[in-house]
Amino acid sequence: MRVWAIFKKELRLYFTSPVAYVVFTIFLLIAGYFFYNIFAFFTLASMQSAMNPAMARDLNVTDGVMRPLFSNVSVILLLLMPLLTMRLFAEERRSGTIELLLTYPVRDGAVLLGKYAAALVLYASMLALTLLYPGIVAYFVRLEAGPLLTGYLGLVLMGATFIAVGVFASSLTENQIVASITTFGILLIFWILGWSADYAGGAAGKLLQHLSIIEHNESFARGVLDTKDIIYYVDFTVLALFLTLRSLETRRWKG
């Protein structure tokens, strides 16, 4: 299995450089801080409701806690994910190893798939580690499993899109920093598109809202699964991967 060989090589390379470790550490620390805040919020809220039972009813966990949590985590991902994908093609190009890789009997698509899968698995394991936190919180207070699960699914889908964009940017240059900034730029543009949706209004506003990469994550955090959102992320990912293939092909012509 040639995709498998490339996948294994990429994962191995991830753990030979400090980047993955640093990203993991920072992400886990920050995510931990967010969960700590939830825990603190719950402790405070439950103390208040013990004193004033009427308040307990107003305590909306999903809106008050989960949504800000997942939206905060999204911002961290926006900042960190470009660092996980910048190396994938840029470094092969800089060091010249791409010249060997692309003359082995593997299709460009298989190379891309192997690399994409490696980044995705890395990201998924990073997310999986944060499951520890809701685990701890759930030990002390009651957490709703539904919004938590859909929230995580939303993060996986959004992260998959981030990675696809990152792989694409990495295929455009031999400079990892440029790849990382390009990824961040593209993601940020799609992130802020939604902001102007309100002013634009009408059909244009609807379109902008639909294109916004963060808008589609909202419903997941609310515990709602909407196929429209899932399709958005899948489409975005497929398009970015398709463009990566085209970019690899054009780069071959230039040598």
Partner 1 sequence: MIEVQGLTKQYGPVTAIRDVSFRVEPGQVVGFLGPNGAGKSTTMRILSCFMPASGGSARVAGYDVLTQSMEVRRRIGYLPESVPLYTDLRVAPYLDFVAEVKGLARGERRRRVAEVMDRCLIGDVQNRLIGKLSKGYRQRVGLAQALVSDPEVLILDEPTIGLDPRQITEIRSLIKALAGRHTVILSTHILPEVSMVCSGGVVIINKGAIVAQGPIETLVEQFFPTARVEVEVIGPPAAVREMMRAIPGVVSVHDEAITNGAGRYVVESSRDRDIRAEISRLAAQQQWSLLELKRVGTTLEEVFIRIVAGEETTAEAGEDAAP
- List interacting residues with partner 1 (CB under 8 A): 1-2, 4-6, 8-9, 12-13, 16-17, 95-107, 252-255
CB atoms within 10 A of CB 93: 19
The smaller minimum CB distance to partner 1, of residues 24 and 195, is found at: 24
The smaller minimum CB distance to partner 1, of residues 53 and 255, is found at: 255
Q: Minimal distance in Å, beta carbon 86 to partner 1?
A: 15
Alpha helix segments (H runs only) across 102-214: 108-130, 132-140, 145-170, 176-192, 197-200, 202-211
How far apart are the C-alpha atoms of 194 and 217, rounded to whole Å?
Answer: 12
CB contact at 8 A, 87 and 17: yes
CB atoms within 10 A of CB 81: 26
Q: Minimal distance in Å, beta carbon 170 to partner 1?
A: 16
The smaller minimum CB distance to partner 1, of residues 83 and 221, is found at: 83
The smaller minimum CB distance to partner 1, of residues 2 and 210, is found at: 2
The smaller minimum CB distance to partner 1, of residues 74 and 244, is found at: 244
Q: Minimal distance in Å, beta carbon 93 to partner 1?
A: 10
Q: Minimal distance in Å, beta carbon 92 to partner 1?
A: 8
Q: Minimal distance in Å, beta carbon 241 to partner 1?
A: 20
Q: Which residues, in sequence order, are CB contacts of 146 under 8 Å at separation 6+?
A: 223
How far apart are the C-alpha atoms of 26 and 34, rounded to whole Å?
Answer: 12
